[in-house]
Amino acid sequence: MQSLLDRFCRYVRIATQADEAAKTYPSSPGQLELGRILLGELQAMGLRDAAQDEHGIVLATMPATRQPHGPTIAWIAHLDTSPETSGHGVKPIVHRNYAGGDIVLPGDVSKVIRAEGNTELAAARGKTLITTDGTTLLGADDKAGVAVIMEAAAHLAAHPEIPHGPVRICFTCDEEIGHGVDHLDLARLGAHVGYTLDGSGAGEIDNETFSADLAVVTIHGVNIHPAIAKGRMVNAVRLAGALLDRMPWTTLSPETTAERDGFLHPYRIEGGVAQATLRILLRDFDTPKLADKAQLLRDLANQLQAEHPGSRIEVSVTPQYRNMAEGLVKEPRAVTFAEEAMRRAGLNPKRTIVRGGTDGSRLTEMGLPTPNLSCGEHNLHSPLEWTCLEEMATAVRVLVELAQVWGEAAS
Protein backbone atom coordinates (compact mmCIF):
# COMPACT_ATOMS: atom_id res chain seq x y z
CA MET A 1 0.00 0.00 0.00
CA GLN A 2 2.73 2.46 0.93
CA SER A 3 4.61 1.92 -2.33
CA LEU A 4 1.38 2.40 -4.27
CA LEU A 5 0.67 5.62 -2.37
CA ASP A 6 4.24 6.87 -2.92
CA ARG A 7 4.00 6.11 -6.62
CA PHE A 8 0.70 7.90 -6.99
CA CYS A 9 1.88 11.01 -5.14
CA ARG A 10 5.10 11.06 -7.17
CA TYR A 11 3.26 10.89 -10.48
CA VAL A 12 0.57 13.50 -9.71
CA ARG A 13 3.22 16.10 -8.84
CA ILE A 14 4.39 16.11 -12.46
CA ALA A 15 2.30 18.57 -14.48
CA THR A 16 0.93 16.71 -17.50
CA GLN A 17 -2.14 18.81 -18.32
CA ALA A 18 -3.11 18.35 -21.96
CA ASP A 19 -3.22 21.53 -24.05
CA GLU A 20 -5.78 21.65 -26.84
CA ALA A 21 -4.05 24.66 -28.47
CA ALA A 22 -0.60 23.06 -28.65
CA LYS A 23 0.86 22.23 -32.05
CA THR A 24 3.07 19.48 -30.63
CA TYR A 25 2.45 15.83 -29.79
CA PRO A 26 2.22 15.22 -26.95
CA SER A 27 0.62 18.56 -26.20
CA SER A 28 2.62 19.25 -23.03
CA PRO A 29 6.25 18.46 -22.11
CA GLY A 30 5.30 17.04 -18.71
CA GLN A 31 3.83 13.98 -20.43
CA LEU A 32 7.27 13.19 -21.87
CA GLU A 33 8.85 13.77 -18.48
CA LEU A 34 6.44 11.43 -16.68
CA GLY A 35 6.90 8.88 -19.47
CA ARG A 36 10.68 8.99 -19.00
CA ILE A 37 10.30 8.38 -15.27
CA LEU A 38 7.99 5.42 -15.88
CA LEU A 39 10.35 4.03 -18.49
CA GLY A 40 13.20 4.10 -15.97
CA GLU A 41 11.04 2.37 -13.36
CA LEU A 42 9.91 -0.32 -15.83
CA GLN A 43 13.52 -0.98 -16.85
CA ALA A 44 14.51 -1.19 -13.19
CA MET A 45 11.81 -3.86 -12.70
CA GLY A 46 13.48 -5.85 -15.46
CA LEU A 47 10.66 -5.67 -18.01
CA ARG A 48 11.53 -6.39 -21.64
CA ASP A 49 11.50 -4.07 -24.63
CA ALA A 50 10.75 -1.04 -22.47
CA ALA A 51 10.79 2.06 -24.68
CA GLN A 52 9.36 5.54 -25.08
CA ASP A 53 8.71 6.35 -28.73
CA GLU A 54 8.97 9.73 -30.47
CA HIS A 55 5.30 10.42 -29.66
CA GLY A 56 5.83 9.90 -25.95
CA ILE A 57 4.08 6.52 -25.85
CA VAL A 58 5.69 4.15 -23.35
CA LEU A 59 5.57 0.40 -24.04
CA ALA A 60 7.02 -2.57 -22.16
CA THR A 61 6.54 -6.33 -21.97
CA MET A 62 5.97 -8.56 -18.98
CA PRO A 63 6.77 -12.03 -20.38
CA ALA A 64 4.63 -15.05 -19.51
CA THR A 65 5.60 -17.20 -16.54
CA ARG A 66 3.57 -20.21 -17.60
CA GLN A 67 3.55 -22.60 -20.59
CA PRO A 68 1.38 -22.98 -22.48
CA HIS A 69 -0.33 -19.66 -22.03
CA GLY A 70 -3.19 -17.64 -23.46
CA PRO A 71 -2.97 -14.56 -25.67
CA THR A 72 -1.16 -11.33 -24.81
CA ILE A 73 -3.19 -8.68 -23.02
CA ALA A 74 -2.42 -4.97 -22.64
CA TRP A 75 -2.81 -2.69 -19.63
CA ILE A 76 -3.28 0.88 -20.75
CA ALA A 77 -3.43 4.25 -18.98
CA HIS A 78 -3.01 7.84 -20.11
CA LEU A 79 -0.30 10.21 -18.89
CA ASP A 80 -2.11 13.51 -19.49
CA THR A 81 -4.67 15.23 -17.28
CA SER A 82 -7.75 17.24 -18.20
CA PRO A 83 -7.28 20.76 -19.60
CA GLU A 84 -10.41 21.85 -17.72
CA THR A 85 -8.69 22.41 -14.35
CA SER A 86 -5.07 23.34 -13.72
CA GLY A 87 -2.71 20.42 -13.22
CA HIS A 88 0.27 22.59 -12.34
CA GLY A 89 1.69 22.50 -8.82
CA VAL A 90 -0.50 19.61 -7.64
CA LYS A 91 -0.08 19.15 -3.88
CA PRO A 92 -1.59 15.78 -2.95
CA ILE A 93 -3.02 15.65 0.57
CA VAL A 94 -3.32 12.24 2.22
CA HIS A 95 -6.28 11.80 4.58
CA ARG A 96 -5.63 8.64 6.57
CA ASN A 97 -8.48 6.88 8.31
CA TYR A 98 -11.11 9.24 6.85
CA ALA A 99 -13.63 9.92 9.60
CA GLY A 100 -16.56 10.80 7.34
CA GLY A 101 -18.13 14.21 6.73
CA ASP A 102 -17.09 17.14 4.55
CA ILE A 103 -13.49 17.58 3.44
CA VAL A 104 -12.42 21.24 3.33
CA LEU A 105 -9.47 21.75 1.00
CA PRO A 106 -6.91 23.96 2.76
CA GLY A 107 -5.48 25.82 -0.24
CA ASP A 108 -8.91 27.24 -1.11
CA VAL A 109 -11.41 26.80 1.72
CA SER A 110 -14.29 27.59 -0.65
CA LYS A 111 -13.58 24.16 -2.14
CA VAL A 112 -15.32 21.54 -0.03
CA ILE A 113 -15.91 17.90 -0.92
CA ARG A 114 -19.33 17.52 0.69
CA ALA A 115 -20.48 14.21 2.12
CA GLU A 116 -23.92 15.13 0.83
CA GLY A 117 -23.73 14.87 -2.96
CA ASN A 118 -20.68 12.58 -2.88
CA THR A 119 -22.35 9.31 -1.95
CA GLU A 120 -19.16 7.30 -2.54
CA LEU A 121 -17.55 9.14 0.39
CA ALA A 122 -19.75 7.29 2.89
CA ALA A 123 -18.25 3.98 1.74
CA ALA A 124 -14.74 5.39 2.14
CA ARG A 125 -14.98 5.89 5.90
CA GLY A 126 -11.90 4.51 7.66
CA LYS A 127 -9.96 4.40 4.41
CA THR A 128 -7.10 6.51 3.06
CA LEU A 129 -8.22 9.26 0.71
CA ILE A 130 -6.07 11.53 -1.41
CA THR A 131 -7.26 15.01 -2.47
CA THR A 132 -5.59 18.20 -3.64
CA ASP A 133 -5.37 21.44 -1.67
CA GLY A 134 -8.26 22.77 -3.78
CA THR A 135 -6.21 24.90 -6.20
CA THR A 136 -5.68 22.24 -8.89
CA LEU A 137 -7.14 18.97 -10.03
CA LEU A 138 -5.62 15.84 -8.54
CA GLY A 139 -4.97 13.97 -11.74
CA ALA A 140 -6.12 10.59 -10.42
CA ASP A 141 -7.62 10.62 -13.91
CA ASP A 142 -5.50 8.93 -14.97
CA LYS A 143 -2.49 8.71 -12.66
CA ALA A 144 -4.45 6.32 -10.47
CA GLY A 145 -4.46 4.06 -13.53
CA VAL A 146 -0.76 4.65 -14.16
CA ALA A 147 0.12 3.91 -10.51
CA VAL A 148 -2.08 0.78 -10.46
CA ILE A 149 -0.45 -0.62 -13.60
CA MET A 150 3.07 0.17 -12.35
CA GLU A 151 2.35 -1.45 -8.98
CA ALA A 152 0.83 -4.57 -10.61
CA ALA A 153 3.85 -4.84 -12.92
CA ALA A 154 6.22 -4.47 -9.96
CA HIS A 155 4.29 -7.16 -8.09
CA LEU A 156 4.44 -9.65 -10.96
CA ALA A 157 8.12 -8.84 -11.59
CA ALA A 158 8.90 -9.54 -7.93
CA HIS A 159 6.86 -12.79 -7.92
CA PRO A 160 7.90 -14.94 -10.89
CA GLU A 161 6.18 -17.88 -9.17
CA ILE A 162 2.77 -16.40 -10.09
CA PRO A 163 1.76 -18.20 -13.33
CA HIS A 164 0.49 -15.64 -15.81
CA GLY A 165 0.32 -14.91 -19.52
CA PRO A 166 2.20 -12.16 -21.38
CA VAL A 167 1.25 -8.57 -20.61
CA ARG A 168 2.03 -5.45 -22.60
CA ILE A 169 2.15 -2.21 -20.64
CA CYS A 170 1.17 0.91 -22.52
CA PHE A 171 1.03 4.55 -21.47
CA THR A 172 -0.55 6.97 -23.92
CA CYS A 173 -0.62 10.78 -24.21
CA ASP A 174 -3.33 13.39 -24.82
CA GLU A 175 -6.35 11.17 -24.14
CA GLU A 176 -8.22 14.10 -22.59
CA ILE A 177 -8.15 16.07 -25.83
CA GLY A 178 -9.19 13.12 -27.96
CA HIS A 179 -5.76 12.14 -29.29
CA GLY A 180 -4.87 9.26 -26.96
CA VAL A 181 -4.38 6.64 -29.62
CA ASP A 182 -3.52 8.75 -32.69
CA HIS A 183 0.01 7.35 -32.77
CA LEU A 184 -0.54 3.97 -31.16
CA ASP A 185 0.36 1.21 -33.59
CA LEU A 186 -1.78 -1.83 -32.71
CA ALA A 187 0.60 -4.20 -34.51
CA ARG A 188 3.42 -2.89 -32.35
CA LEU A 189 1.29 -3.16 -29.22
CA GLY A 190 0.70 -6.77 -30.22
CA ALA A 191 -2.15 -7.57 -27.82
CA HIS A 192 -5.32 -9.61 -28.28
CA VAL A 193 -7.36 -7.50 -25.86
CA GLY A 194 -6.62 -4.34 -23.91
CA TYR A 195 -7.78 -2.90 -20.62
CA THR A 196 -7.72 0.78 -19.84
CA LEU A 197 -7.35 1.56 -16.16
CA ASP A 198 -9.31 4.79 -16.06
CA GLY A 199 -12.49 4.18 -14.11
CA SER A 200 -14.25 5.30 -10.97
CA GLY A 201 -14.63 3.41 -7.71
CA ALA A 202 -13.90 -0.32 -7.55
CA GLY A 203 -15.17 -3.48 -9.20
CA GLU A 204 -16.70 -1.84 -12.25
CA ILE A 205 -16.18 -2.76 -15.88
CA ASP A 206 -17.19 -0.08 -18.35
CA ASN A 207 -18.27 -2.01 -21.41
CA GLU A 208 -20.25 0.79 -23.06
CA THR A 209 -19.24 4.37 -23.74
CA PHE A 210 -20.81 7.26 -25.55
CA SER A 211 -20.42 7.65 -29.25
CA ALA A 212 -19.02 11.13 -29.77
CA ASP A 213 -18.76 13.86 -32.40
CA LEU A 214 -17.42 17.40 -32.08
CA ALA A 215 -19.38 20.23 -33.70
CA VAL A 216 -17.66 23.55 -34.37
CA VAL A 217 -20.01 26.40 -35.19
CA THR A 218 -18.33 29.39 -36.83
CA ILE A 219 -20.39 32.56 -36.97
CA HIS A 220 -19.21 35.21 -39.41
CA GLY A 221 -20.55 38.71 -38.69
CA VAL A 222 -19.77 42.11 -40.16
CA ASN A 223 -17.60 44.43 -38.08
CA ILE A 224 -17.63 48.20 -38.44
CA HIS A 225 -17.05 51.12 -36.06
CA PRO A 226 -20.10 51.45 -33.76
CA ALA A 227 -20.39 55.14 -34.73
CA ILE A 228 -21.43 54.21 -38.26
CA ALA A 229 -22.85 50.74 -37.54
CA LYS A 230 -26.53 51.47 -38.02
CA GLY A 231 -27.96 49.05 -40.54
CA ARG A 232 -24.51 47.68 -41.33
CA MET A 233 -23.05 45.84 -38.36
CA VAL A 234 -23.83 42.16 -37.90
CA ASN A 235 -22.53 41.21 -34.43
CA ALA A 236 -21.29 37.62 -34.22
CA VAL A 237 -21.20 37.88 -30.41
CA ARG A 238 -24.96 38.49 -30.33
CA LEU A 239 -25.62 35.72 -32.84
CA ALA A 240 -23.59 33.32 -30.69
CA GLY A 241 -25.74 34.31 -27.72
CA ALA A 242 -28.92 33.78 -29.73
CA LEU A 243 -27.77 30.38 -30.96
CA LEU A 244 -26.93 29.27 -27.43
CA ASP A 245 -30.30 30.53 -26.21
CA ARG A 246 -32.12 28.45 -28.83
CA MET A 247 -30.17 25.27 -28.14
CA PRO A 248 -31.91 22.77 -25.87
CA TRP A 249 -30.89 23.41 -22.28
CA THR A 250 -33.62 22.04 -20.01
CA THR A 251 -33.27 18.82 -22.01
CA LEU A 252 -30.41 17.30 -24.03
CA SER A 253 -27.73 18.94 -21.88
CA PRO A 254 -25.25 17.21 -19.58
CA GLU A 255 -26.67 19.13 -16.61
CA THR A 256 -30.19 17.78 -17.20
CA THR A 257 -29.60 14.22 -18.41
CA ALA A 258 -28.34 10.93 -16.95
CA GLU A 259 -28.07 7.23 -17.70
CA ARG A 260 -28.57 6.55 -21.41
CA ASP A 261 -29.68 10.01 -22.55
CA GLY A 262 -27.43 11.88 -24.95
CA PHE A 263 -26.76 15.61 -25.16
CA LEU A 264 -25.33 18.62 -26.95
CA HIS A 265 -22.79 20.40 -24.76
CA PRO A 266 -21.42 23.82 -25.71
CA TYR A 267 -18.15 23.93 -23.78
CA ARG A 268 -16.14 26.75 -25.32
CA ILE A 269 -16.93 30.07 -26.90
CA GLU A 270 -14.54 32.59 -28.31
CA GLY A 271 -14.57 35.46 -30.74
CA GLY A 272 -15.65 39.04 -31.38
CA VAL A 273 -17.99 41.08 -33.56
CA ALA A 274 -16.52 39.81 -36.82
CA GLN A 275 -16.38 36.15 -35.94
CA ALA A 276 -17.35 33.88 -33.06
CA THR A 277 -16.77 30.17 -32.60
CA LEU A 278 -18.69 27.69 -30.48
CA ARG A 279 -17.36 24.22 -29.75
CA ILE A 280 -20.11 21.76 -28.95
CA LEU A 281 -19.82 18.13 -27.90
CA LEU A 282 -22.41 15.76 -29.36
CA ARG A 283 -22.91 12.60 -27.32
CA ASP A 284 -25.18 9.54 -27.47
CA PHE A 285 -24.95 5.81 -26.76
CA ASP A 286 -26.90 5.21 -29.92
CA THR A 287 -24.52 6.25 -32.73
CA PRO A 288 -27.16 7.16 -35.36
CA LYS A 289 -28.64 9.70 -32.91
CA LEU A 290 -25.47 11.81 -33.24
CA ALA A 291 -26.60 12.75 -36.74
CA ASP A 292 -29.95 13.97 -35.34
CA LYS A 293 -28.09 16.23 -32.93
CA ALA A 294 -25.89 17.63 -35.68
CA GLN A 295 -29.02 18.27 -37.77
CA LEU A 296 -30.63 20.14 -34.89
CA LEU A 297 -27.60 22.45 -34.79
CA ARG A 298 -27.64 22.97 -38.55
CA ASP A 299 -31.35 23.83 -38.48
CA LEU A 300 -30.79 26.44 -35.75
CA ALA A 301 -27.80 27.87 -37.62
CA ASN A 302 -29.77 28.13 -40.88
CA GLN A 303 -32.70 29.81 -39.12
CA LEU A 304 -30.47 32.39 -37.46
CA GLN A 305 -28.55 33.07 -40.65
CA ALA A 306 -31.81 33.67 -42.53
CA GLU A 307 -32.98 36.12 -39.87
CA HIS A 308 -29.72 38.11 -40.04
CA PRO A 309 -28.72 39.04 -43.57
CA GLY A 310 -24.98 39.50 -43.88
CA SER A 311 -24.22 36.77 -41.40
CA ARG A 312 -22.83 33.39 -42.34
CA ILE A 313 -22.93 30.42 -39.98
CA GLU A 314 -21.00 27.21 -40.65
CA VAL A 315 -21.41 23.97 -38.74
CA SER A 316 -18.66 21.39 -39.11
CA VAL A 317 -18.86 18.01 -37.42
CA THR A 318 -15.97 15.60 -36.86
CA PRO A 319 -16.21 12.10 -35.38
CA GLN A 320 -14.36 11.57 -32.09
CA TYR A 321 -15.05 8.02 -30.88
CA ARG A 322 -17.70 5.29 -30.93
CA ASN A 323 -19.54 3.25 -28.31
CA MET A 324 -17.20 0.37 -27.43
CA ALA A 325 -20.10 -2.08 -27.07
CA GLU A 326 -20.23 -2.17 -30.88
CA GLY A 327 -16.72 -3.70 -30.97
CA LEU A 328 -16.66 -5.78 -27.77
CA VAL A 329 -19.07 -8.34 -29.20
CA LYS A 330 -16.24 -9.88 -31.21
CA GLU A 331 -14.31 -10.93 -28.06
CA PRO A 332 -16.75 -11.44 -25.17
CA ARG A 333 -13.89 -12.80 -22.99
CA ALA A 334 -12.58 -9.22 -22.73
CA VAL A 335 -15.43 -8.59 -20.29
CA THR A 336 -16.09 -12.05 -18.83
CA PHE A 337 -12.42 -12.59 -17.91
CA ALA A 338 -12.33 -9.18 -16.22
CA GLU A 339 -15.37 -10.26 -14.21
CA GLU A 340 -13.60 -13.50 -13.27
CA ALA A 341 -10.47 -11.59 -12.19
CA MET A 342 -12.58 -9.28 -10.03
CA ARG A 343 -14.32 -12.23 -8.38
CA ARG A 344 -10.94 -13.81 -7.64
CA ALA A 345 -9.90 -10.49 -6.11
CA GLY A 346 -12.93 -10.70 -3.81
CA LEU A 347 -15.14 -8.23 -5.64
CA ASN A 348 -18.65 -8.44 -6.95
CA PRO A 349 -18.12 -7.13 -10.50
CA LYS A 350 -20.56 -4.77 -12.10
CA ARG A 351 -20.90 -3.86 -15.79
CA THR A 352 -21.38 -0.14 -16.24
CA ILE A 353 -21.87 2.42 -18.95
CA VAL A 354 -19.70 5.52 -19.06
CA ARG A 355 -21.10 8.87 -20.10
CA GLY A 356 -17.89 9.74 -21.87
CA GLY A 357 -15.15 8.05 -23.79
CA THR A 358 -11.85 6.45 -23.04
CA ASP A 359 -8.85 5.44 -25.06
CA GLY A 360 -10.66 2.09 -25.07
CA SER A 361 -13.56 3.48 -27.09
CA ARG A 362 -11.26 4.23 -29.98
CA LEU A 363 -9.03 1.18 -29.53
CA THR A 364 -12.08 -1.06 -29.65
CA GLU A 365 -13.20 0.74 -32.81
CA MET A 366 -9.72 0.17 -34.29
CA GLY A 367 -10.00 -3.58 -33.59
CA LEU A 368 -8.54 -4.06 -30.09
CA PRO A 369 -11.40 -4.91 -27.70
CA THR A 370 -10.65 -2.67 -24.70
CA PRO A 371 -13.08 -2.33 -21.79
CA ASN A 372 -12.29 0.08 -18.97
CA LEU A 373 -11.67 -0.98 -15.37
CA SER A 374 -12.14 0.79 -12.05
CA CYS A 375 -9.09 2.27 -10.38
CA GLY A 376 -10.48 4.54 -7.68
CA GLU A 377 -11.17 7.78 -9.56
CA HIS A 378 -13.77 10.24 -8.19
CA ASN A 379 -14.92 13.76 -9.22
CA LEU A 380 -12.80 13.81 -12.36
CA HIS A 381 -11.55 17.03 -13.96
CA SER A 382 -12.39 19.04 -10.84
CA PRO A 383 -10.47 20.60 -7.93
CA LEU A 384 -12.76 18.38 -5.82
CA GLU A 385 -11.20 15.26 -7.36
CA TRP A 386 -10.23 12.53 -4.91
CA THR A 387 -9.12 8.94 -4.88
CA CYS A 388 -9.12 6.09 -2.39
CA LEU A 389 -5.91 4.16 -1.76
CA GLU A 390 -7.74 0.93 -0.90
CA GLU A 391 -9.64 1.07 -4.20
CA MET A 392 -6.40 1.54 -6.10
CA ALA A 393 -4.89 -1.42 -4.22
CA THR A 394 -7.94 -3.51 -5.18
CA ALA A 395 -7.38 -2.58 -8.82
CA VAL A 396 -3.78 -3.81 -8.52
CA ARG A 397 -5.08 -7.18 -7.25
CA VAL A 398 -7.55 -7.31 -10.16
CA LEU A 399 -4.74 -6.82 -12.69
CA VAL A 400 -2.59 -9.51 -11.07
CA GLU A 401 -5.56 -11.92 -11.26
CA LEU A 402 -6.39 -10.85 -14.80
CA ALA A 403 -2.90 -11.75 -16.05
CA GLN A 404 -3.45 -15.21 -14.56
CA VAL A 405 -6.98 -15.68 -15.93
CA TRP A 406 -5.77 -14.87 -19.46
CA GLY A 407 -2.68 -17.01 -18.91
CA GLU A 408 -4.96 -20.01 -18.35
CA ALA A 409 -6.99 -19.32 -21.51
CA ALA A 410 -6.79 -21.05 -24.86
CA SER A 411 -5.13 -18.73 -27.36
Q: How many residues bind Zn ion (CB under 5 A)?
A: 3
| Nearest residue (CB) to Zn ion, 142 versus 206 | 142
| Nearest residue (CB) to Zn ion, 142 versus 174 | 142
Q: What are the contacts of 244-252 at 24+ separation with CB within 8 A?
A: 244/269, 244/278, 246/300, 246/303, 246/304, 247/280, 247/297, 247/300, 248/296, 252/293
CA distance 387 to 200: 9
CA distance 117 to 306: 45
Report how far apart the first and last C-alpha atoms of the chain are (Å, whole number).
34
| Nearest residue (CB) to Zn ion, 142 versus 385 | 142
| Nearest residue (CB) to Zn ion, 198 versus 365 | 198
CA distance 226 to 402: 67
Residue ranges with strand state E in 185-309 = 193-200, 204-209, 211-220, 263-271, 275-284
Give me the least distance between CB of 113 and Zn ion, in Å please: 19
Pairing of strands 73-78, 193-200: parallel
326 is a catalytic site residue:
no
Give me the least distance between CB of 223 and Zn ion, in Å please: 40
CA distance 241 to 246: 9
Q: Kindly state whether residue 401 participates in binding Zn ion, applying the rule CB under 5 A.
A: no
166 CB contacts (<8 Å, ≥6 apart)? 61, 62, 63, 64, 69, 72, 73
Q: Which of 80, 206, 284, 391 is catalytic?
A: 80
175 is a catalytic site residue:
yes
Handedness of CA 331, 402, 163, 145 (dihedral sign): positive
CA distance 245 to 6: 48
Give me the least distance between CB of 196 and Zn ion, in Å please: 8
Cβ atoms 104, 41 nearer than 8 A:
no
Give me the least distance between CB of 175 and Zn ion, in Å please: 6
Stretch in the footprint of Zn ion (CB under 5 A) among 56-64, 102-110, 190-198, 334-342? 190-198
Give me the least distance between CB of 356 and Zn ion, in Å please: 8
| Nearest residue (CB) to Zn ion, 141 versus 401 | 141
| Nearest residue (CB) to Zn ion, 151 versus 359 | 359
Give me the least distance between CB of 374 and Zn ion, in Å please: 12
- Strand, coil or helix: 317: strand
Cβ atoms 211, 285 nearer than 8 A:
yes
CA distance 34 to 149: 14
Q: Which of 142, 175, 198, 401 is catalytic?
A: 175
Cβ atoms 144, 8 nearer than 8 A:
yes
- 275: DSSP letter: E
| Nearest residue (CB) to Zn ion, 142 versus 213 | 142
Stretch in the footprint of Zn ion (CB under 5 A) among 196-204, 208-216, 248-256, 322-330? 196-204
| Nearest residue (CB) to Zn ion, 178 versus 248 | 178
Pairing of strands 167-172, 312-321: unpaired
Q: Which of 198, 204, 385, 401 binds Zn ion (CB under 5 A)?
A: 198
Stretch in the footprint of Zn ion (CB under 5 A) among 159-167, 192-200, 237-245, 341-349? 192-200
For Zn ion, the binding residues in 124-153 under the rule CB under 5 A are 141-142
Cβ atoms 350, 205 nearer than 8 A:
yes
- Radius of gyration (C-alpha) of the chain in whole angstroms: 23
Give me the least distance between CB of 174 and Zn ion, in Å please: 11
Give me the least distance between CB of 335 and Zn ion, in Å please: 19
- Per-residue binding string, Zn ion, 58-97, x by CB under 5 A, is ----------------------------------------
CA distance 20 to 362: 19
Query: Which residues lie near Zn ion (CB under 5 A)?
Result: 141-142, 198
Q: Which residues are catalytic, by number?
A: 80, 175
